[in-house]
Every structure is written in C-alpha cells, then in structure tokens.
Structure 1
Amino acid sequence: MTDVISPLERVKKQLAAPLDRAKSLKSLIRAEAANTQSAGQISQKVIDALDEAELYWFAVPTELGGEDASMRERFELFEEVASYDASTGWSYMTLAGFNGYSSVGLGDDAVRELFVERDPRARTSGFAGPSGVAVPVEGGYRLTGKYRFGSGVLHATHFAAGAFIDGTDKIVTGFVPREHVTVTGGWDVFGLKGSGSVDFEVNDVFVPEQYFFSPVDYVPLRGGAGGRMDFGSTAIAYHSAVSIGNAKHALQEIVKIADAGRQVPGHDKIIDQARFTYEFAHHESRLEAVRALTLSNIENARVKIESGEEMDDFDKARFFQAGNLVHEVSREVVEFAFRWAGTSPVRDGSALGRALLDSLVAQQHAHVDHHKVVEAAPAIIDHYRVG
C-alpha cells in the first residue's frame, strides 16, 4: 500500500476489546430478536448499537481506522453474536466480513473514500459470486447483474456484486453505492428470516477499477494476517462461527428448560435423567471438537501467512471439510436440544424453535454443500499418500 492514506482524522475512543463490546450488547440483541425476525432485517436499535460500539470495522486495517482483528478474533466475535440471535449474527457477519474484504482488497482511492473520508464509514455486503457481467471501459467497468442472497445488504452503504469480465472467465467483485442498486426482495423463508438476505439488481452502472477485486485471485493490499487468508477459506470460517454460535444458544436454552423442571408425567425431570445428561455431554463434546478443528485450521493458516508462506490446496481443503462437518454437527446439536424441550419450542417466538429453523437454512449455504467436500477430498487423500 502506498502512503496516500493518512491516519483517520477523528477522535479515537478508548475501546474495550471487540469481544467485550459485543458481550455488552447481549441483552439488547436477545430482546430485539423477535423484532429482527418480524422485520426481516436487524432491528434499528441493534444496528445503532453495533455502530456505536464500532463493531462493523473491527476487521478493517489499523491504517484505515480499524482494529485489524486476527482471524481467531473475528471467529470468536461472530460466534458470540450468533449465540444471541443467529439472524443478527449472520447479517452482522456479512457486513463486518465484507468490510474486512473490501478494506484489504480494494485500491487506495476506494478504501480512502469508504473508510477514511466517508462519515459515517461504509458498511459493505452483497454477493461476490459471478451473477453479472462487467464490461471494461476507460477507468473501470460497466456492471450489470441480478443477485440472490444479499445477506446484510439492507444495512449496507455499498453492495458487493460479482461478475465475469465480459468475454472472459475471469471473476471480479465490484462495490456499488447503494443509490445505484435496486433491491428486489425475495427473502421469503422459514429460517434466518432476520438476516435480510434479499435479492438485488445492478443495471449498467459504471464502477471505477479501484472498487474491484478478484475473489478467486484475492490479493491483500494492506493489513495483517487476519485479512490475508484466501477468500473461500475466510468465508467458511465466518459461516462456521455463526453455525456454532447458534448451536451454543440451543444448548443454553435446553439447560434453562431443564433447570426449570421440565419433565414428562410419570418420569424424572430431564435434568435428573442419565440419558439426557449423557446426550448433552455427547453433543456438546462434538460441537467443541468441530470448533477446535476450525480454530486449528485458522491457527495453521496464521502461522503460514506470518512466515511468508502461501496456503496450499490441502490447507484450503481442510476449511471446506471442516465447514461441512461444523454445520452438520451444529444442526444435530440443535435438534437434540429441540427434541428434549417438549412442546415449548414449537410455538411462534420460541428461541429454540428459531434456532432449529436457522440451523436448517444455514446448512443449505453453497459453501457447506457436500459437493465442496467432494472437491476438497483429493487434496486430503493426497496428504495420506506416503512416498
């Protein structure tokens, strides 16, 4: 990165650690979960609180006024927020996550405008996959496309929109100001309803070249190791954090129900039943195991990146392998909690019922589809070929 970006000219707050700031919002996010659900987007009270806590920009490099959080810090923060409400966690993850991508991968002019000169600072989100066409013109591209599943975009100032460069198979992602985007809706779902993952369109909009990066050949231009993992592995780590957070919420809910004396007439309270306590310990251990696997992958990537090495195919395959397993185990944990809770979670507004539906929808994401494991398997098999 060149020296064209000066330090952010604003009064810096004395901020607590990002995770501690998130924990201070737990009661608010839980209290607003029903409003988030009914509105189909994060409630404005929560949006404002996340803004005030400066949590949208904790993954932005320090030279742009952010905190340059490590990948582990990002994982733990997204996990924590999702344990309060999965829809809020999912949408927030995409906003803070895309801010990380864009602040590291876009050109100097773009990041200066988005994160230094702009007040309020940008919130970016969208769909990085190639659902459009970028036609090269002088100074940039004219971008056209129709996009699905734009999680978080209802709160974004700039929309990420992926496209093939016209006449090629090269993929780029451009960041388009909100006023040049048409939101078309389409998020009529039974889970993650509050994530606001709506469809949107971009129609022949000029976007300067500085506002593009390639999600396939992602080149970090600034910041530390936390923002230098490849695009795909990073996305998997983020989604895994939300899935695990949702499963932890389910475990908290079933403990609350068990401690309140839940029992079937003629049987012991479930908290006193060996089968319940065994199953709880069994599922909780599996959740902790997949969490540890994900954090191990993150740590291995950090060590390589900080030593100047590139992540190889095996490293990347491990993320997709783990991501698929994380979502499978997380769903099973939520199903366990739901099954033992009796009839209470079947009613509208139930936190445990919402967690179950959220886990089912989260597992349908393209990043954790079983085909991703099929694609990852050859690199993993090669690892076990002893010369």
Structure 2
Amino acid sequence: MDLTEQPVSTEPTPRELVRRAERLRPMLRAQQDEAEARGHYGEDVHRALRDADLYRILTPKRYGGLEFELSAYARVVMEISRGDPATGWCYSLGHNHNLTTAAHWSQRAQDEVFANPAGYFRASHSVAGNVEAVRVDGGYRLTGRSLYQSGVPYSVFVTVNAAVRGSDEVIAAIVPRERVQVLDDWKGPGVLGLRASGSNSVALDDVFVPEHLTCAFDWMEHDYDAPSPGNVLHGNPMYLGPVAAFFHLALVTPMVGAAKAALDCYEEIISTRPMTFPPFELRWEDPHHQADFGMAMSMADAAEGIVIRVCDQYLEHCRDLVERGEPFTMAKDARLYGMVQRAGELAADAVALLYRSAGSSAGRGGHPMERYFRDVSMYRGHISAQYRWSAAKFAQIHFGWRKSPL
C-alpha cells in the first residue's frame, strides 16, 4: 500500500495526553481552594478531564479505551498532580481500577460495567472498612461501611471489599454508585491534607450484588503463574493483576506531582523575594537556597525515574508470565512495591525540604506550599506508605520466611 493511502489515526498518543494534562495546570491551580472546601474537584475539571480523553488511558480497547501502558497513566497523573496533588489523587484512584477490573472479572461482568451509560469507566476501591456479605441466591447482600473510597465523587461504580458471613473468604464487589450512600465525611478543614481527594466513606444497606460482579479478593496472596481472565479476554499481558506495587503506584504518582508543584512554587518565591539581610540580593542568588532547590529537584527527578522504571518492569514481569510462562511472584511484586515506596519518600522529602526553606509566610493557610506540605504529610500517614514496616517484610520474603508483602 502507498504510505499516503494509510488511514490516519484520530486517537491521541501518550505524549499528547501528557500535553493535554499540562494545559490543564492553570485551571487546576485556580480551583484548589474551592476543591478543598468541597472535598473533590469541580464539574468543570471533571468535564475537562473527560473531554481530554484522560478517563480512557487504561480502559481496554474492547470497550472503547486507549489501552495505553502504565507509564502513560503515571505520567498523566504526575502532570495533573503538578496542578493540584489532591485532584491528582482523586483522578488516579478512580481511573487505576480500570486495570484491576479488566484483569480479575469475567467477560460478563466487564461487558456490563465497561459499557455503562456514562460513556467511561471509573471505580473507586477501598480495602478498608467493615462490610459484611451474606450469600443469597444469585449473589450476595452487602451491609456496612467502606472507608477511604478515594475518587468516588466521579466514579460510576464503587468496588468494596466484604467479609463473607460464615467463612474466611473476602470478596471484592462492584456496586453501581447510585446503590450506595456517599457520606459527606471528607473535606477541609476536617482533614489535614489531600482534602480534595474525594476519599469519602460509602455506606451499604442490604445491597444485592449479583455473583458475576464479585470475585475473590486474594490478589496479594499468591503468585501469578497462569494467565488471568483479562489476559485471555483482551490479549494484553498488562491485564494480569498483581496489585501490591500497582496499588501503591496510584498513591505515589500524585506525590511526585506534588514535588514538582512545590518546585514551581519555590522557584517563584526565590525569584521574587530578597534576602532578609544586606546586601538584599534575590534569594535564588543565595547558595543555600540554590542548594535546597537543586537537592529537591534531584529528589523529584529521581522519584519520577523510579516510578517510570516500576511501570516498565511491571509490564516486563506480566509479559514474562504470558509469553514465557515465568511466574509473576509475590517476591517480584514486593521488590517493585519497595521501589515505589522509595519514590514516595523522595517526593515527600523534597516537598518537606522546600517547605522548610521557603520562609514562614509559606506556612500561612491557603499558601500553595502549605497545601503541598499538608498533602504529602497525609500521604505519609497512609498504611501503604509505612516503608520501615514493609522493609522487614521484604527481607523476610527474600530469605524465604514469608511470601506475601502484606
């Protein structure tokens, strides 16, 4: 065929999606105060993200998605979070479950949830809370409260973990958002940071969930030594399903964006404010401020590099299983998880360094640097970010004392 006759793709490239996210930065920064007060980003931002195709990155092509690699998703989340880390968190944890849903659920379930009337798939998912599942004909009835459903304000579905009455089994159940009550328990000033992350609790009162919309939540309790339902359905190794590193990646990418945002803020401060004492040169001319900026910049860049490497190595492990039969073991997942935790600490340390060096005025309420410091402090309190606890587990896995990183 003559090259001039080949069809031209109208779909965006991963690089174009990052540029689209970058162009949203002024809008995201302008709405930060309102988003914190509300508890999540506004309808205008929601429409902008949707219209920019940023809700399609990890969605399978079978259902109208772009089916891009993890690195495309990570780069977009980091860029959105450079505009507003909490908005990035809300976006990230509503979109990342495209991958787990495509990996672990049956074709019947996927045909139903991905082809929903909203025209896109977003689902929050939390493992925290106290939800009980009672087995009934055709499925389960769920009652209880699921906490920290980050991303739920613009999710079409809510995925909850539930303990099955009378057994040790835990299931993950996909529930239409309109079937749950989203509680108004997440917004400023009631929480320290990530106030716009949409990390609300949801309540369920005897909600019926059909069997096909549930699956066993044993995703971090075994090696992956055979293709998943998603591998078979989509023909893509990415939809295999190990989640220890992948889940934490969704939390760390907003923190890398926060570090980049803090660098932007710090650069503006030192480029416009003079030193306190003679000769009153601008702060960027002072070697101490230069050192702090350079150190934080290197830390943010290193964190970003780790994130992208983890994305690539995750896919390498998935391909090794699907194409060569080499299991994606919990030990491999744990090593990637540890790398992502290191990236999170580097990013959070970069923000803390810049906050300390920015001057006391940066600690006033409403100052961007104050917000970024609160956001990374909130991340550091997350159980998944407790790297010192995890480090011992990683060593135990290496020496054969345990298998799971949990």
Query: What is the TM-score of this pair, normalised by structure 2?
Result: 0.85
In the alignment, what sits opposite 2:201?
199
Whole-angstrom CA distance in 2 between matches of 1:259 and 1:277: 11
* Aligned-residue identity in percent: 23
CA contact (8 A) 1:216 1:231 kept: no
In the alignment, what sits opposite 2:52?
53
Offset at residue 58 of structure 1 (A): 1.4
**2:42 aligned with 1:25:** no
1:4-19 paired onto structure 2 within 5 Å: 14-17=11-14, 18-19=17-18
Offset at residue 175 of structure 1 (A): 1.1
Whole-angstrom CA distance in 2 between matches of 1:56 and 1:338: 32
Gap regions ≥5 residues in structure 1: 1-11
Q: 2:245 aligns with which of 227, 233, 243?
A: 233
Give the 3 Å change call, closer, same or farther, for CA 215–30 of structure 1 in structure 2: farther
1:249-264 paired onto structure 2 within 5 Å: 249-264=261-276
Give the 3 Å change call, closer, same or farther, for CA 214–306 of structure 1 in structure 2: same
In the alignment, what sits opposite 1:124?
123
Whole-angstrom CA distance in 1 between matches of 2:267 and 2:239: 37
Offset at residue 72 of structure 1 (A): 1.4
Specify the SS of the correspondent of 1:195: coil
CA contact (8 A) 2:140 2:209 kept: yes
CA contact (8 A) 1:261 1:270 kept: yes
Offset at residue 129 of structure 1 (A): 4.5
**2:175 aligned with 1:158:** no
Whole-angstrom CA distance in 1 between matches of 2:229 and 2:283: 51
> Which one-letter code corresponds to 1:82 in the other structure?
S
Whole-angstrom CA distance in 2 between matches of 1:376 and 1:76: 27
**2:248 aligned with 1:243:** no
Give the 3 Å change call, closer, same or farther, for CA 342–119 of structure 1 in structure 2: closer
Deviates most, 261-270 or 349-358: 261-270
**2:308 aligned with 1:295:** yes
Listed one character per residue, the Cα deviations across residues 191-242 of structure 1 (whole Å, up to 9, x for unaligned) are: 0111121111112211112212334237452442333341222111121211
Specify the SS of the correspondent of 1:361: helix
In the alignment, what sits opposite 1:335?
352
**2:388 aligned with 1:376:** no
Specify the SS of the correspondent of 1:310: coil
CA contact (8 A) 1:236 1:319 kept: no
CA contact (8 A) 1:132 1:143 kept: yes
> Which one-letter code corresponds to 2:36 in the other structure?
Q
Offset at residue 29 of structure 1 (A): 1.4
Listed one character per residue, the Cα deviations across residues 224-266 of structure 1 (whole Å, up to 9, x for unaligned) are: 2333341222111121211111111101111121122342233
Specify the SS of the correspondent of 1:227: coil
Deviates most, 155-164 or 353-362: 155-164
Specify the SS of the correspondent of 1:375: helix
> Which one-letter code corresponds to 1:241 in the other structure?
T
Specify the SS of the correspondent of 1:226: coil
CA contact (8 A) 1:99 1:125 kept: no
Give the 3 Å change call, closer, same or farther, for CA 233–80 of structure 1 in structure 2: same
Deviates most, 257-266 or 89-98: 257-266
**2:97 aligned with 1:85:** no
Offset at residue 381 of structure 1 (A): 5.5
1:259-338 paired onto structure 2 within 5 Å: 259-266=271-278, 268-308=281-321, 309-338=326-355
CA contact (8 A) 1:271 1:277 kept: yes
Whole-angstrom CA distance in 2 between matches of 1:230 and 1:130: 22
Whole-angstrom CA distance in 2 between matches of 1:129 and 1:213: 17
Whole-angstrom CA distance in 1 between matches of 2:210 and 2:10: 33
Give the 3 Å change call, closer, same or farther, for CA 134–296 of structure 1 in structure 2: same
Offset at residue 112 of structure 1 (A): 1.7
Offset at residue 13 of structure 1 (A): 6.0
Offset at residue 307 of structure 1 (A): 2.6
Specify the SS of the correspondent of 1:198: coil
In the alignment, what sits opposite 1:9?
none
Whole-angstrom CA distance in 2 between matches of 1:56 and 1:283: 31
Whole-angstrom CA distance in 2 between matches of 1:329 and 1:117: 39
Deviates most, 103-112 or 35-44: 103-112
Offset at residue 130 of structure 1 (A): 6.5
Specify the SS of the correspondent of 2:359: coil
Query: What is the TM-score of this pair, normalised by structure 1?
Result: 0.89
> Which one-letter code corresponds to 2:364 in the other structure?
R
CA contact (8 A) 1:317 1:380 kept: no
**2:223 aligned with 1:210:** no
Give the 3 Å change call, closer, same or farther, for CA 217–325 of structure 1 in structure 2: closer
Whole-angstrom CA distance in 2 between matches of 1:156 and 1:95: 6
Deviates most, 192-201 or 207-216: 207-216
For this pair of structures, how many residues does the alignment match? 372
CA contact (8 A) 1:320 1:372 kept: no
